[in-house]
Chains A and B, each alone.
Chain A
Amino acid sequence: MAHATSIQYEPVAEIGGGAYGTVYKARDTESGQFVALKSVRVQTDQNGLPISTVREVALLRRLEQFDHPNVVRLMDVCATQRSDQETKVTLVFEHVDQDLKTYLERAPAPGLSPGRIKDLMRQLLCGLTFLHSNRVMHRDLKPENILVTSQGQVKLADFGLARIYSCHMALTPVVVTLWYRPPEVLLQSSYATPVDIWSTGCIFAEMFRRKPLFCGESEVDQLGKIFEVIGLPPEDEWPTDVTLSRKNFPPLMPRPIADFVSEITEQGAQLLLNMLTFDPLKRISALNALEHPYFQDEETLTQTKS
C-alpha cells in the first residue's frame, strides 16, 4: 500500500503551490482519469497519525458518501510514512480543469448572463448548505477553489482542509488572499459558518463585475474597503473581543450597492446585501439564501410558461 499511490497515480503537471502545499494533476493509471493530488505532511509521534488528522479525513470521507453534486469528489486517501516523525497523507480528488476565476476570465465581452450567474449562485449555495449542515465550514472560499466543469456544474473544492493542514500551515509563510475574508476574520474575532456566506457575497458581486469587489492590501486596508461600501457598522455591532478599535475607521455611510455592482437586479442586490452584512449573526444563512426571492422568480417564470 505504501507504494500504491505513486504507482496508481502518475503525476502529469504541477497545478498549484497553494497555501497548503503543492497540488499535482495526475493520471490514474487504472482508470485513465485525471485526478488532483493534494499531499500534506503531518507530524507523527510515537502514537501514529494525530487524532485531528484521523477525524478530519474521516469527516471528508463521510461527506463523500452523500455524493453531493456540488462538492468535489474525494476518490482516495492514502497515508505513507516519510520518516519516524512524518507521515504523508495524500488526498486524491477528481480533477476539474477550470475554476471560477478562469471561467470568469474566459467569458466573452459583456460577461456572464444574469441567468447564468443565478444558476452558478444556486449551485454554489447548494454545496455550501450541504457542508454547513454537516458542520463543515470552508473558511477559504474564493473563485480559485470553486470549480466549474465543462457542463457548467459548480463543485466546491478545498473545504475542510484548513484543519488538516493547520500544523503544516505554520511552516509555510504563504500570503493568503484577504479579498474574500469577512470582517470577523479580519478583526480576529470568533467565527463560524457565516464566514463562507461573506465570501459567497464577494464572489456574487465579482460575477457581475468580473473583478473582485474588495481588493485590500492588508487587514486594515481590507476592512476600510469593506466599510466604503457597506458603511461603518454601528458601535453595538462591533465585536467586543477584538483589539482593533472602531475609532480607527472614518464614519462612512453605506453607499448604494448598484454603484459597485451595476446590472444586478433589485432582488439580487437585496440578497447581496444580506450576504455582505457586517454582523455574522444577522448575515443570511446558505439555506435561507436559497429561498431568497432572487432565486424564486425564475422558477415561477418557467412554471407559468409551461
Chain B
Amino acid sequence: MARTGFSDSKPLLDLHKKVDERRAPLRTWANACGPIDRWQPVDVDESRMAPVKLEPERRWERRLSLQTKEGIIMGFHEDSRAHSADGCVEEPVLLYPHGLQGLHSLQALVPSLLRHEVEMALEKLGLIWDRTYAWDVFLDMMRTQTWNALPTADLPRHFTDATRAVLVDWLIQVHETMHFQEETLYLAIHLLNCSLRQIKVTTANLQLLGMVCLFLAAKKEECLLPEVSGLCYLMDHTYTKHQLLRLERKVLCGLKFDLSYCPPLHFLLLLASIARCSAKVVWMARYLLELSLLEGQCVVFLPVHLAGAALCLSRQVLQEPPTPEGESAWCLASSVHVGSETALLRIIHILTNAAAKAHTRETCATFIKFSSPETMHVSRHPGLKKISALLGICT
C-alpha cells in the first residue's frame, strides 16, 4: 500500500489491506507472551463495530473547554472485509494485563481504523522499520509500559520530592549539554526513580547516582558515549571515576540489568501524529511532559497516560480553532484513553500546577529550554497561567 500524506483524510477510510499484510505475527504474542492466566480473550460483539457514536464523556474536556464546544460525534464506516479479517488479530489488544480498563471499548469502537493510524504513525516516526510488525510494536508498547509505572510515589525517608526535583533539573541540564536524545533523558529519570527505591544511597551520593543513571541510559540509547572523566568534570570532581564505575555496577545489579523502558515521549509523538496535532501543540505537550519528570507524584502513572494528559492540556492551553478533520482525528487518538479519564485528570492537575509555577521555581531548566525560538516559546505562553485559573489551582 502506498504511503499516504498525513494531511490527507482519505487514509482514514482506506482500510483495504492485502491479506499477507495482516499475517499473524500476533499469534506469536498469543502463544508466547505473558503468563497464560493474564490472557483473557474477550468476545466482541461485531455489530457494535458498525458506525458508532461516541458520547462526549470526557470530563476534563468539559471542564477545560469553556470556549470551544466539544461536541464529538464520531462516525465512521467499517470496511466489513477489513474487520472480519481483523477479528482475531485485534484480540491481543485486550491481552495485556490490568491497568487500562478502556480497552474493551477500544476494541469495540476503533478496530482497524485505529490500527491503521497507529501503523502509519509509527512508520512516520521511524519507530519501526517494517509496517508488518507495527501493530505488534504498538501492543508491545502498551503491554510493557505497565511494568514501568512504579507502585508508589513514596521516596526513601531521607529524600524529599524537592531534593529529587533539584537532581532531575540538574540532569536535564547535563543532558542538554551532552546533546543526547530525548529518550535518554526519560530513561535516565526512570532508572533514577527505580534505583532510588532499589539501592541505598546517601544524600551525598545522590548526584553521583543521577549521573550514573544518565550514563547507563546513554549506554542503552546513544551512539556516542561521553568519557567518564568528562562526567566527573561536570560534577566538579566531587567523585572519582572509580566511584562512578563502582556505583554503575551497583545500580546494574540493583536493577538486575533491567533497562528496558517505553518512554512517554513515544506515546506522545504517536498520539500527536494520529491526532494531526500542530507543531505548536506538540511542542507545548513536550514541554508539559518534560515538566512531569520533575514531579515525584508522576512516577505512578503509565507513560501512555502521561503523554495523553500532556497532549490534552496542550490543546486546551493553545485553544487552536477546531476543524472537523482535526476533531475526529483527536477523537480517534483519545480513544486509546477511554476508561482512564480519572488518571488523566489527575495528571492534568499536576501538570497545570507545575506549568503555572515553572518560571518562579529554582528548578527551571525545562522552562528555559522550552522558551527558545526553536521550541516556539511554548513555556512562556500566556495560556498556561489562564488555564490554572480556570482549574482553580492557586499558584
Contact = CB atoms under 8 A, between A and B. Distances in A.
B257 A77 contact: yes
Contact of B144 (A51, A55, A65): A65
A87 interface: yes
Interface stretch (B7-15, B22-30, B78-86, B340-348): B22-30
B55 interface: no
A74 to B, nearest CB: 9
A44 B242 CA distance: 12
A68 B33 contact: yes
A222 B220 CA distance: 39
B33 A66 contact: yes
B115 interface: no
A57 to B, nearest CB: 4
A4 interface: yes
B257 A287 contact: no
B28 A129 contact: yes
A49 interface: yes
A61 B260 contact: yes
Given A51-B219, A61-B257, A287-B27, A46 B32 contact: no
Contact of B225 (A44, A47, A87, A126): A47
Interface residues of B, number: 38
B4 interface: no
B375 to A, nearest CB: 30
A213 to B, nearest CB: 27
B32 A130 contact: yes
A216 B199 CA distance: 51
B219 A61 contact: no
Interface string A35-46: 000000000101
Given A46-B241, A49-B248, A130-B28, A77 B228 contact: no
B155 interface: no
A77 B256 contact: yes
Nearest to A75: B256
B228 A46 contact: yes
A241 B229 CA distance: 43
Contacts of B254: 1
Contact of B260 (A46, A62, A69, A290): A62
B228 A129 contact: no
B66 to A, nearest CB: 44
Interface in B318-365: none
A58 B257 contact: yes
Contact of B31 (A4, A77, A87, A126): A126
A57 B215 CA distance: 16
A79 B252 contact: yes
A130 B26 CA distance: 11
A133 B28 contact: yes
B31 A130 contact: yes
Contacts of B109: none
B32 A129 contact: yes
B249 A1 contact: yes
A59 B220 CA distance: 10
A14 to B, nearest CB: 24
A48 B245 CA distance: 6
A54 B249 contact: no
B256 A76 contact: yes
Contact of B253 (A1, A44, A66): A1
Interface in A1-31: 1-2, 4
A145 interface: no
Nearest to A291: B27
A65 B261 CA distance: 12
B233 interface: no
Contacts of B147: 65
Among A47, A49, A60, A67, find the residue whose CB has the most chain B CB atoms closer than 10 A.
Answer: A47
Contact of B257 (A47, A57, A130): A57
A260 B25 CA distance: 33
A49 B225 contact: no
Given A61-B256, A61-B260, A130-B32, 17 more contacts: A46-B229, A46-B241, A48-B245, A49-B219, A49-B252, A54-B219, A54-B252, A54-B259, A61-B259, A62-B260, A67-B35, A76-B256, A77-B253, A81-B245, A87-B249, A129-B28, A287-B24
26 contacts: A1-B250, A1-B253, A46-B228, A46-B241, A48-B244, A48-B245, A48-B248, A49-B252, A54-B257, A54-B259, A58-B220, A58-B258, A61-B260, A65-B144, A65-B147, A67-B35, A69-B36, A77-B252, A77-B253, A78-B253, A79-B253, A81-B246, A81-B249, A126-B31, A129-B31, A130-B28
What 9 pairs across the A-B complex have the smallest Cβ distances? A130-B32, A58-B259, A133-B28, A62-B260, A57-B257, A48-B245, A79-B249, A66-B33, A61-B258
